[in-house]
Amino acid sequence: MHIVSDKDKTMKFFEYTKKMMHNSRMNEDCHITPDNVYQVAHTANRDILLDSVRIGHLKGSNVLGVENILKLNELAEQGKSCIVLSEHVSNLDVPSLFARFYDHPNEKLKEIFEKFIFVAGVKLNQNSLVKLYTEMFTRVVIYPIRSLEKMTDDKHREEVELAKKINMRATRKIAELRNKNQIFVMYPAGTRYRPWQPETKKGIKETTSYLNSFDYFCCASINGNNMPPRDHEDMTREQFLEDVLVFNFGEVKSAKEYITNLSTSQTKFAADDKENIKQYIVDNIMEEIDILHEKAEEYRKQYL
């Protein structure tokens, strides 16, 4: 029996990458401005992508909580604004979600996937090889708050001003599209979780402001990882691994009721302490994602 090594899998994965380059627009719209924050999926390479992701999804890879994503879709079809707040573990989270939805026995999940609009950071456009993958999915591109918080000196003044304009235009685009039978997907942590950096698991408080502009939401966890982050940011140096990939979607909730209930029931902060209350709400969201993760891991254990 031939055992395929991680190195062999990685080489095979990047062979698929080379096949996709010819039909890609990987070198277009790499520089984000307020005029190109909305980027519609370029799907020419979708079939090759599906093949490339499948080689890493082991038996047992699945979508749990399908009834919840179906319910969220029904609400979107009624003109309600809907958003998924998801765990974020890998640069391949979206391609893996694509594969799981397209390979699911319920054909409705393919239709639902095409309604997803992902809220994505600018750096996913800046590296052409990374953009080769991100371009296949419809996105509203933002400048991550985590990055903005690091730019406090005068030398970053122009970049900060541009970032604010990008985020303002992105917010307007989300407002324009949110009631048009679309479902937004956002990552509350704003970055991939890196176990050696516990702060990367903490949700950013601005998530609460986004959530407040939607009617309904659900949380989602991701168990398994085909491309775990390394202590560098170069995707081309990350390994492609086999794993059991499980997405778990939680209960659909009214965003306004959720925010109101948490704001009024909490006793830790004064009623006018808006910023800390925002953080308190997103901390609760991250806890809900952790619970979904734990439940999905119980399911996943039978296949590991």
- Could you tell me the residue ranges of all domains in the chain? 6-303
Q: How far apart are CA 171 and CA 136, in angstroms?
A: 22
Dihedral angle of Cα 205, 210, 213, 216, to the nearest 10 degrees: -100
pLDDT single digits (tens) 143-179: 887 666 666 666 678 888 999 999 999 999 999 999 9
| Weakly modelled stretches of the chain, pLDDT under 70 | 1-5, 146-155, 233-236
Rounded Cα distance between 55 and 42, Å, is 22
CA dist., res. 5 & res. 192, Å (int):
25
Model pLDDT, residue 238: 84
Compute CA distances 113 → 4, 73, 188, 218, 222, whole Å. 31, 10, 20, 15, 16
Distance CA 286, CA 68 (A): 18
Tell which residue, 117, 173, 123, has the closest CA to residue 144.
123
Looking at residue 210, its pLDDT comes to: 94
Sign of torsion, CA 203 208 213 216?
positive
d(CA 177, CA 183): 9
pLDDT value, residue 3: 40
Q: Which pLDDT score, from 0 to 100, does residue 236 have?
A: 65
Per-residue pLDDT, 93:
97
pTM of the model: 0.94
The domain 6-303 is placed in CATH, from the list 3.40.1130.10, 3.90.1640.30, 1.10.10.10, 3.30.70.1230, at 3.40.1130.10
Per-residue pLDDT, 156: 72
Question: Which pLDDT score, from 0 to 100, does residue 235 have?
Answer: 64
